[in-house]
A = this chain, B = another copy of it.
Amino acid sequence: MDASNGSQSFGETGNADIKCFFDSAPPLKDASQIKMKLEQFIENNRAKSENGKGSRVVCVTSGGTTVPLEQRCVRYIDNFSSGHRGSASTEYFLKSGYAVVFLHRRGTCQPYCRSLPDDPLLECFEVANESNITVQPIHEKTVKRAIGENRRAVMRGALLKLPFTTIFEYLQILQLIALSTRSLGSSALFYLAAAVSDFYVPWESMAVHKIQSSSGPLDMRLAQVPKMLSVLRKDWAPTAFCISFKLETDTKILLEKAGKALEKYDMHMVVANELLTRKEEVIVVTQNGNITVQRDKTRTDADVEEPLIKLVVDRHSAYLSSKS
């Protein structure tokens, strides 16, 4: 594996746009450290699988990417995503025995933290006297679960958290993950729930200094981010099971666009969700038809991720059987 070898990584798609995007991106900080962590994580989980347990690894992407508008970044375009979908899904993947690489936007929702207040440190704790910090009784159960479950998953080597902020970081780390999972073959799964920017300002054409506001309205031309799903599927991780997401605010075009993505990028599943109802139901688009997945409305604490991950795990199992 050599993630830095750009020319090899785009071999089959031969997409000049994509090569150009990577060549012009600002270099990834800590790239070699991230690579090392990943290789160790994958190797540990591959070793477990050789003991006969059949370890599967999923890369869950979560939260939105940013697009800088200036090189010394003061302003940027952001894609909204709380990271609830990705963090909840991570919990269910862990519960199903997967090892998870959680590629998430810095500051977004973490696994096991969904039901905590926005600022848990200041909102859940008290200093009872000079020497004792206590959790408020009303938050005790959720706080303990968050801290305990997170620590257990990390300690047993089943959860690797990698943060990103910009679209450049996101795609560069995704490439590193994809190339490092190749050794896992069909046991690798990509669950691409992050809200990735469609438009960006190429690094070279970006203003170096803060854009000045004194000279009237601001006209901007943003270029399209090349679609990386093709290159992920064909070149980076051709044997992995791949699931992408489609979010729209307009129901009318949602299923059509999800179907097109399934074909165009040769995905195994596309999860179609509409902004307003995405916590109640999603529609999973596959080659064999659409499946509506709804949360269990008889339980107030039930979420749509629980049945969704059950479906994903079943389909991944079937895919593994078909390959062996």
In this assembly, does A220 line the interface, its C-beta being within 8 Å of a C-beta of chain B? yes
Inter-chain contacts of A126 with B (CB < 8 A): 147, 151
A-B contact pairs, 23 of them (CB 8 A): A69-B77, A73-B80, A74-B79, A74-B247, A74-B249, A75-B77, A75-B80, A113-B122, A121-B143, A122-B146, A122-B147, A122-B151, A126-B147, A127-B147, A127-B148, A127-B151, A198-B211, A198-B213, A217-B221, A217-B223, A217-B224, A218-B222, A219-B222
For A73, A79, A217, A249, which residue has the most chain B Cβ atoms within 10 angstroms?
A249
Question: Restricting to A67-94, which residues have a CB under 8 Å from any CB of B?
Answer: 69-70, 72-80
In this assembly, does A119 line the interface, its C-beta being within 8 Å of a C-beta of chain B? yes
Encoded as 1 (CB less than 8 Å from any B CB) or 0, chain A from 257 to 278 comes to: 0000000000000000001100
**C-alpha gap A124/B120 in the complex (Å):** 12
Question: Restricting to A59-117, which residues have a CB under 8 Å from any CB of B?
Answer: 66, 69-70, 72-80, 106-107, 110, 113, 116
**C-alpha gap A135/B224 in the complex (Å):** 46
**C-alpha gap A148/B131 in the complex (Å):** 11
Inter-chain contacts of A219 with B (CB < 8 A): 219-222
Which B residue's beta carbon lies closest to that of A132? B144
In this assembly, does A239 line the interface, its C-beta being within 8 Å of a C-beta of chain B? no
**C-alpha gap A208/B248 in the complex (Å):** 12
**C-alpha gap A255/B143 in the complex (Å):** 48
Q: Known contacts A210-B250, A222-B218, A249-B210; is A143 also within 8 Å of B148 by CB?
A: no
> How many copies of this chain are found per oligomer?
2
Say yes or no: A133 contacts B143, CB within 8 Å: yes
In this assembly, does A216 line the interface, its C-beta being within 8 Å of a C-beta of chain B? yes
In this assembly, does A2 line the interface, its C-beta being within 8 Å of a C-beta of chain B? no
**C-alpha gap A219/B144 in the complex (Å):** 48
In this assembly, does A314 line the interface, its C-beta being within 8 Å of a C-beta of chain B? no
Inter-chain contacts of A218 with B (CB < 8 A): 198-199, 220-222, 224
Say yes or no: B69 contacts A75, CB within 8 Å: no
Inter-chain contacts of A73 with B (CB < 8 A): 80
In this assembly, does A209 line the interface, its C-beta being within 8 Å of a C-beta of chain B? yes
A87 to chain B, nearest CB (A): 12
Question: Restricting to A172-214, which residues have a CB under 8 Å from any CB of B?
Answer: 195, 197-199, 208-211, 213
Nearest 7 Cβ contacts at the A-B interface? A198-B213, A127-B148, A72-B249, A218-B222, A209-B250, A120-B121, A209-B249
**C-alpha gap A65/B218 in the complex (Å):** 17
**C-alpha gap A197/B75 in the complex (Å):** 9
